[in-house]
Structure 1
Amino acid sequence: MNNTSYHCLSLLTSCKNLKTLKQIHASLVKIGLNSEPFIAGKLILHCAVTISDVLDYACRFFLHFPNPDVFMHNTLIRGFSESSTPQNSIFTFIDMRRKSMVPPDSFSFAFVLKAAANYGSLRAGIQLHCQALIHGLDIHLFVGTTLISMYGECGSVYFAKKAFEQMLEPNVVAWNAIVTACFRCGDVNGARKMFDMMPFTNSTSSNVMLAGFAKAGALELAKKMFWEMKVKDDVSWSTMIVGFAHNASFGEAFGYFRELQRVGLRPNEVSLTGVLSACAQAGAFEFGKIFHGYIEKSGFNWITAVNNALVDMYARCGNMEMARLVFESMPYKKSVVSWTSMIEGLAMHGYAEEAIQVFHEMEGSGIRPDWITFIAILYACSHAGLIEQGCSYFSKMKNVFNIEPKIEHYGCMVDLYGRAGYLQKAYDFVCQMPISPNAIIWRTLLGACSIHGNVELAEQVKERLSELEPNDSGDIVLLSNIYAVAGKWKDVATVRRSMTAQKIKKTPGWSMIEVDRTMYSFVAGEKSKKTTAEAYEKLKEIMLRLRVEGGYVPEVASVFHDVEEEEKEDSVFKHSEKLAVAFGISRLCKGRDIRIVKNLRICRDCHTVMKLISKVYGLKVVVRDRSRFHLFNDGSCSCKDYW
């Protein structure tokens, strides 16, 4: 390799964007080095892996290169495996086998198996395993370890263990992979057994166990292992902080955070964003504010990922003003995650026009939206009834940005049509999808049938759902609800008998509220806890006042049972969000906003009650249900009764 080649390679190494890359490529063409396999391979590597959002350029260059070697193929396979379209990695591998005389090597299989894992395709993974067998690479240490990880990601602990057993001399990485695979598949006991069998361990092994226990909710086991560890690194501490925070044990999470500081270690990006993410999920606004103050005071606010997590936390806790303030004051260039978090937050709160405006600002800033951004903007259009705009963005995603729609995008379109009442159009859209609709797609349409009371279509959709997930309690309850609203009590009784016979239980509704930086949870109908008894007492007082001053009349049309009105009223009276708001009124200082997180969609009666409470008591009530945010103020809701 001559001096010119070395110079070109050094230029490539320092290249950071597509514009500069094109200039270097043009120079290579001019001096005739673009056809050199080594130089061309490095160029593809830079496009496919090093620089973001230039994978298409690598593809075009690859297609025009005569007889690409195995390194070029592997580089493109790797690039796709780490992209938002990992299935293209598999297609590239197939094309390599069909057209090229170059046999795949261990790197080919490692990268394409990772793609199968990221795509979640067990079928593709098994076929690739067979190909590895044919080429004698299945027992290769690198390939074997990736096989274990792939099966774990695809949910097959049986095949993961089989792949592990085939390895001749598994190293510590392979052992860690099988432990991780067990946890991925929910086999906690299997993971413990494999860990106990390990002939040698390292800090990663212990951290894998910590993360697995935390994710499984086995916090006591995680604590025991953590304090028994002789060496605790940054990952160990971060795992404990994030694990407890994600399990809503904020006091202990903060305790580990303080202990981390006490022993002289500095928090890292993972621990900071992990705690903020957990605050976002639980709606722990006060806890998140305290943590924001710590971030500002400690000088972590220059980290883009931490600012992104702050935006997401404030948005999911129902405070878009603070989310916007953090977003607009970010010290460095905003990433695609920054913009997407803001769009998603506005969408959740029903500010569709503002979400669209931010999307256009994102385009103007030169940041290319990704597939998650389009989910956010389609969600915004769906929850505001903006059908034309939603269809336009769906088309733009494919035709302008070359982003192939995923199942989530199709789900957004079904939701868009369904919420607006175009049920037949939604059904036709599902039937014409180029990919097989999953249970979530059909469930979205069933939910729309419930909103608009279309019994006939609901029955058709439920049949499709039964083929995919026959015993899902939510689908059965939703169908029962549709029958109840239509007054078809015989059908309601039939559905409920079917649930009893199959021992299918309804998912209980729960709501959470933060009071004095402590999270309190309430379950529909539960009366055993002291806090619940307190909430019931306050709720009786509230409901009486709403009847007298607000003219409240219970909406009982959706109550499942063909029973007396008094029993129906008692049924809706027990809903968890009513208990949570009553507890908030009882405990919080006068004038404080009440913020509630709910696991199910808020019902019409609870929606009416929240509007009346906001008017009669002069309060702002924020409810985040499974679908979106509802801001109740002075007798009205931000959703404008469109949810």
Structure 2
Amino acid sequence: MIQSSAAAIILPCFPTQSPFHFPSKPARGGHVAPPFISNPSGALHVRCRSTSSVQARLPEEASSVRKHNQGIEPNFHPFRSSNSSSTERGDDDDDDDADSFVDVDNLLYLLRFSTKYSDVELVRAVHASILKIEEDTHLGNVLIGAYLKLGLVLDAYQVFKNLSEPNVVSYSSLISGFAKSNREFEAAELFFRMRSSGVEPNEYSFVAILTACMRASRFELGCQVHALGIKMGFTDYVFVANALMALYGKSGGCLDSAIQLFEEMPERDITSWNTVISSLVDGSLYEKALKFGRDLVKIDEFRVDELTLLTLLTACTGCHAVKQGKEIHGHATRLGLATSLSLCNAMIGFYSKCGTIENALTVFDTMQIRDVITWTQLISAYMEFGLVDSAVKTFEKMPERNAISYNAILAGFSHNSQGLNALNFFTMMVRNGVELSDFSLTSVITACGLLADLETSRQIHGFVTKFGYGSNAHIEASLLDMYTRCGRMRDAEILYSTQNNPIALTSMMSGYARNGQPDEAISHFHRSLSEGKLAMDEAALTTALGVCGALGFRELGKQIHSFVVKAGFEADVGVGNSLVSMYSKCGEMDEAIKSFDAMSARDVVSWNSLIAGHVLHREGDKALALWSSMEKAGVRPDSITFVLLISAYKHTSSDLVDHCRTMFLSMKPTYGIEPASEHYASFVGVLGSWGFVEEAEEMILELPFEPDVSIWRALLDSCRLHVNTTVGRRVAKRILAMEPRDPSTFVLISNLYSASGRWHCAEATRQEMREKGMMRKQPCRSWIIHENEIHSFYARDVSHPQSMDIYRGLEVLILECMRAGYEPDTSFVLQEVEEYQKKEFLFYHSAKLAATYGLLTTSPGQVIRVVKNVVVCGDCHSFLKHVSAVSGREISLRDGSGFHFFSDGQCSCRDYW
């Protein structure tokens, strides 16, 4: 080791004013003049002399230290005591004076030499030599610093304990070392010991203890230290104020204090600006962080450094500020930082979230130096844009790969719903011995959930358990999610019973909601909350709000919103998105818009949530107006955005099919999004809703790929809407060939024939369903929420405690509606019974029972709110229109197609749904 160190230090030529020069002569009186003096900042400086001869001697000195401590008498004795005679040394007087000076001076230099080249052996050798001379606190402090720089905290502490009179530098160095070595509590104890010993802290002591408080999240102690700093007058020091800002910024709830500190600083450096900006970014206050960035540029454009730009890019990504992100890119170019590797990597990440793949590729192509992070960022960008093949090709071209690169491909497959590819890739990773992490396992578990294959899910669970990650909270939650996606709710409940972590609680809630048990999800939420098992963090709140939206549970959703405000979760983008979605699904679009406007930062999901709300309320014109605002804001749309926007054209006030066609065709060239099956299905629905059924069929037949059943089913529904049995028969044959045992297809076909008066064909369809055993389908369900309780109803349901009153009320209501012109449509009854029995079946559909219960239990003037788990049938739709007329009450019904608002015998859907 010493040879390499020596060779390294011979090469450089020290400048004349190097801080490591030695004086040529000792001070008068034969005493060595102290080579270091303390400046106000606590830094150590060395008195200098020419070192032309010292350069060549350093390797010899270092070697002689080791030999001396091994009991070997070297030719050179850097630590010989000052009273050794010249006769013993064989030197003249001048040489005697020079060599006697080397005692402490060379020790100090060798300590710095050892830390510069990470030479632990040399530090220990110097330490051994120090033990043989008289104690020097300053020398001890330098030794403490050397050990700390090499990560040897316990060795530094041993040196500290052996100091008879440690000073403020001794304490401050060790407190700082403890704070940076995950020994924050020992750092705090040492600070208290320093105070009790009578040693007054300096500005560096305060920085050290504040760092410990921040890393240990001891914010109350940090506040006390802040008060002490004010009392002693140290808060005016820039770096003490910076440490205080970092402490308050880390606490999350004290961002206002951090900003106030910043604004009150008499002097700021770039670290001050970076600290306050990064604190705002950590607190998701992205727009405010960008404002501070603009202020910094106005004050001194060239003061901005690489860290500033990296932090501001994170803010731009967080709030999808495309324009500001591009400005930061240009600013980096002007400052000559555009070639920075870390900054370029961050730019690729930014453009993958907020720009286009072309932007990301431009940055990649202009980079002169690339590392594995660069290539991995490009893979993630391709996956983000759905360009899976390009991502795989990039992976294959990588000159070097690591586990993160493999995980990027694996997660990308799962993100793009390619579960089988993800599973195959994971198998390859295992065979090739790639290091697996909890992120790898979470991705492959997600892939199994996408496949919904029971046997594969069992195998993956066994692999995870064998691998030793079975007790990982995130993986446990992923396994629960996988089981619920596979429909294995019983297995999920068993697995959940063996776990005790808040993430599993939220996964179980999502699972109940996903499997058509939202009321069970709410019960689980209340039970866990009352037992104190549920931590109300962002994930739990997002899940709970999602369940409230699925149920239409407005009251509970508003209570959770109040908790969000009180707990300070409003700034979280995910929680804000859930609030927008919850209110829109509960029929409260005004509240959804308010929640959207109140968000301090938004992403593409925020915009999608509000657009989806307008589509759900059949407000196509408002959805398209919001899209215009989204474009002006520079937010890059994703695949889901276009599914929603295309669907919005079904609900516009005028025929905008040509406009919809233009948007559909611009997806790939303008936005880089390849139209998928869901986009074609939405576009077919638009064409069909406006009566272009034949054109829709022609477009499907000309598709460059084999259309899946969702596209044909959209066309079949359009045929039902416009009673086009000619096209409907052809479409039905295709669907039945693709999914011969799907009961929903037979129901659509039967309803199509019934709507056109072809009763014998409708009856033949029902008979075929009976022969194939399809009459037992998932029961339709409607519910209404009254006094914070969910009241569910099925067709001809008598399980409700007030069923007798409900049926009596419904009979009266049916008679009143029939007097007003209501005629039961028995074509929606699939059972083979007599006509009067069909009417009996028809009268007691779940939506009718729920609406009647609402009339009986709500006060006059209140809106009756019903939710149905499938699309409402035509007869129930007609019935509810008449109910709104005869009762004078407004009825809100949310079904599988969207909202129906019944008032005065009319419906907001204009009888097209």
Q: How does 1:334-353 map to 2 (within 5 A)?
A: 334-353=602-621
Deviation at 1:453, TM superposition (A): 1.9
Q: Structure 1: any 5+ residue segments left out of the alignment?
A: 1-6, 158-182
Deviation at 1:542, TM superposition (A): 0.8
Which residue type is aligned with residue 785 of structure 2?
Answer: E
Partner of 1:164: none
Segment of structure 1 superposing worse, 308-317 or 246-255: 246-255
Partner of 2:764: 494
1:512 aligns with 2:783: yes
Q: 388, 392, 402: which one pairs with 1:93?
A: 392
Q: How does 1:608-619 map to 2 (within 5 A)?
A: 608-619=878-889
Q: 719, 725, 731: which one pairs with 1:455?
A: 725
Please say if residues 355 and 377 of structure 1, whose CA atoms lie closer than 8 Å, have aligned partners that are also in contact: yes
Q: 893, 901, 913: which one pairs with 1:623?
A: 893
Larger radius of gyration: 2
Partner of 1:288: 557
Distance 1:40 1:188 in 2: 41
Deviation at 1:315, TM superposition (A): 1.0
Partner of 1:46: 347
Q: How does 1:24-63 map to 2 (within 5 A)?
A: 39-40=340-341, 43-48=344-349, 52-56=353-357, 57-63=359-365
Which residue type is aligned with residue 286 of structure 1?
Answer: E
Provide the identity percentage: 28
Count of residues in correspondence between the two structures = 595
Q: 316, 322, 331: which one pairs with 2:591?
A: 322
Distance 1:196 1:109 in 2: 22
Deviation at 1:58, TM superposition (A): 1.5
Distance 2:467 2:425 in 1: 28
Choose between structure 1 and 2 for higher RCO, CA contacts under 8 A separated by at least 6 residues: 1
Report the CA distance shift for 1:27/1:454 in structure 2 as closer, same or farther (over 3 A).
closer
Deviation at 1:594, TM superposition (A): 1.1
Please say if residues 506 and 539 of structure 2, whose CA atoms lie closer than 8 Å, have aligned partners that are also in contact: yes
1:111 aligns with 2:111: no
Q: 818, 837, 842: which one pairs with 1:547?
A: 818
Please say if residues 90 and 115 of structure 1, whose CA atoms lie closer than 8 Å, have aligned partners that are also in contact: no
Distance 2:860 2:335 in 1: 76
1:391 aligns with 2:690: no
Please say if residues 418 and 449 of structure 1, whose CA atoms lie closer than 8 Å, have aligned partners that are also in contact: yes
Q: 618, 621, 624: which one pairs with 1:356?
A: 624
Q: 257, 270, 284: which one pairs with 2:529?
A: 257
Deviation at 1:619, TM superposition (A): 0.9
Deviation at 1:471, TM superposition (A): 0.8
Cα RMSD of the aligned pairs, angstroms, is 3.8
Q: 619, 629, 634: which one pairs with 2:904?
A: 634
Please say if residues 599 and 626 of structure 1, whose CA atoms lie closer than 8 Å, have aligned partners that are also in contact: yes
Report the CA distance shift for 1:295/1:630 in structure 2 as closer, same or farther (over 3 A).
same
Q: How does 1:238-637 map to 2 (within 5 A)?
A: 238-239=506-507, 247=517, 248-249=519-520, 250-260=522-532, 267-328=536-597, 330-384=598-652, 386-505=656-775, 506-548=777-819, 550-560=820-830, 564-637=834-907
Segment of structure 1 superposing worse, 447-456 or 215-224: 215-224
Which residue type is aligned with residue 91 of structure 1?
Answer: S
Please say if residues 241 and 254 of structure 1, whose CA atoms lie closer than 8 Å, have aligned partners that are also in contact: no
Report the CA distance shift for 1:118/1:245 in structure 2 as closer, same or farther (over 3 A).
closer
Distance 1:463 1:339 in 2: 39
Distance 1:129 1:192 in 2: 14
Report the CA distance shift for 1:143/1:406 in structure 2 as closer, same or farther (over 3 A).
farther
Report the CA distance shift for 1:287/1:219 in structure 2 as closer, same or farther (over 3 A).
farther
Report the CA distance shift for 1:544/1:151 in structure 2 as closer, same or farther (over 3 A).
same
TM-score calculated relative to the size of structure 2: 0.58
Please say if residues 382 and 412 of structure 1, whose CA atoms lie closer than 8 Å, have aligned partners that are also in contact: no
SS at match of 1:597: strand
Please say if residues 751 and 828 of structure 2, whose CA atoms lie closer than 8 Å, have aligned partners that are also in contact: yes
Q: 100, 117, 142: which one pairs with 2:436?
A: 142
Please say if residues 352 and 380 of structure 2, whose CA atoms lie closer than 8 Å, have aligned partners that are also in contact: no
SS at match of 2:826: coil
SS at match of 1:141: coil
Report the CA distance shift for 1:585/1:19 in structure 2 as closer, same or farther (over 3 A).
closer
Which residue type is aligned with residue 369 of structure 1?
Answer: P
Please say if residues 513 and 520 of structure 1, whose CA atoms lie closer than 8 Å, have aligned partners that are also in contact: yes
Distance 1:406 1:242 in 2: 27
Deviation at 1:566, TM superposition (A): 2.5
Distance 1:587 1:148 in 2: 47
Deviation at 1:74, TM superposition (A): 2.8
Distance 2:671 2:461 in 1: 46
Partner of 2:52: none
Report the CA distance shift for 1:579/1:387 in structure 2 as closer, same or farther (over 3 A).
same
Which residue type is aligned with residue 635 of structure 1?
Answer: G
Which residue type is aligned with residue 541 of structure 1?
Answer: V
1:175-234 residue CA offsets vs partner (Å, 9 max, x unmatched)? xxxxxxxx87587776776677675743425444555566678778767766765xx554
Deviation at 1:331, TM superposition (A): 4.8
Distance 2:734 2:642 in 1: 27
Report the CA distance shift for 1:357/1:207 in structure 2 as closer, same or farther (over 3 A).
closer
Please say if residues 474 and 507 of structure 1, whose CA atoms lie closer than 8 Å, have aligned partners that are also in contact: no
Please say if residues 511 and 523 of structure 1, whose CA atoms lie closer than 8 Å, have aligned partners that are also in contact: yes
Deviation at 1:276, TM superposition (A): 0.9
Distance 1:25 1:145 in 2: 31
Which residue type is aligned with residue 808 of structure 2?
Answer: E
Which residue type is aligned with residue 47 of structure 1?
Answer: I
Please say if residues 552 and 609 of structure 1, whose CA atoms lie closer than 8 Å, have aligned partners that are also in contact: yes
Which residue type is aligned with residue 552 of structure 1?
Answer: Y
Please say if residues 484 and 560 of structure 1, whose CA atoms lie closer than 8 Å, have aligned partners that are also in contact: no
Report the CA distance shift for 1:195/1:521 in structure 2 as closer, same or farther (over 3 A).
farther
Segment of structure 1 superposing worse, 333-342 or 346-355: 333-342
Distance 2:684 2:479 in 1: 40
Deviation at 1:638, TM superposition (A): 1.1
Report the CA distance shift for 1:300/1:102 in structure 2 as closer, same or farther (over 3 A).
closer
Report the CA distance shift for 1:72/1:289 in structure 2 as closer, same or farther (over 3 A).
closer
SS at match of 2:547: helix
Please say if residues 414 and 422 of structure 2, whose CA atoms lie closer than 8 Å, have aligned partners that are also in contact: yes
Distance 1:429 1:627 in 2: 24
Deviation at 1:120, TM superposition (A): 2.6
TM-score calculated relative to the size of structure 1: 0.81
SS at match of 1:142: coil
Distance 2:815 2:328 in 1: 76
Distance 1:125 1:335 in 2: 27
1:42-81 residue CA offsets vs partner (Å, 9 max, x unmatched)? 5145323687313521112334568977554332112223
Distance 2:332 2:758 in 1: 74
Please say if residues 539 and 578 of structure 1, whose CA atoms lie closer than 8 Å, have aligned partners that are also in contact: yes
Partner of 2:382: 80
